Each structure stands twice: as structure tokens, then as C-alpha cells.
Amino acid sequence: MRGRVATTLVTGASAAAREAAIAKRLAALLPEQAAAAEGRIAVILEGLASGSSPIPELPPVRLVRLAPGCMCCAGNLVLRVTLNRLLRQGPERLFIGVANSEHLDQLRSWLQQAPYDQLLALEPDLRT
């Protein structure tokens, strides 16, 4: 991995709103020659898909869905394993869609602790 991965936590009232916000950001990030940048962007979404997702199925995007549940409490181990696997693939950008923003500050704090403090560059949250 080259440097710290730019990371955005995405919250919102519905899965559709969170995914639409991520898709909008991805549209600005993806190059026209998308196939040349495989795995450049990682997306972790909490919860089940609500039908068709607006997030593009292109080689630069690696999309992982986690079962619904608090990512900093009950889902901590699952998030940690998923995050570690994705980071080993060397993405340049990471989006984490969070269903319940109640513990968002705790999740952000957890991501700022070792070892993630050296791996992630947390950006301002995206609230939909």
C-alpha cells in the first residue's frame, strides 16, 4: 500500500440514500478508462441491498456488504476482518456506509486507533 487510504463514513436515513451518495462521489472519482484501475476504490456497506444498487459494478470498485448491526459493537470483528482484507488489496479510496449513526463517533474513534491510524486518512463524514 502506498499511503494512507482516504476514507469517508457515509450515513443516512436509508440504504438507498447512502448508496446514491456514494455512487455520486464515485462518478466523480472514476476515470473514463475504468477497467485500467482495478480495485482502486473499496466500499463497505452495512445492511442488505434494497434491489438494484446505483453503485457501479466496474473493476475499480470492490463492494462488500456486511450484515446489519452496529459496526463498532456487535459487528466490530466482522468489520475489522473485512477492512483488513480490503486494505491488503491496496485501495486508494474507501467508503463505509453506516446504517445507524448513533455510534458514528465511536466508530470514527476506533478507526483512528492503531493500526488504522497509520492506514486510513479519515475525511469528513458524508451525511445524506
- Nearest-5° Cα angle at 44, 42 to 50: 120
Output the DSSP codes for 47-68. S---SS-SS---TTEEEEEE-S
> Averaged in consecutive runs of 10 residues, what is the pLDDT profile of the chain (128 residues)?
87 89 88 59 84 81 86 79 94 92 87 95 94
Q: How many beta carbons lie within 10 A of that of residue 74, not counting itself?
A: 12
The pLDDT, as a whole number, for residue 1 is: 45
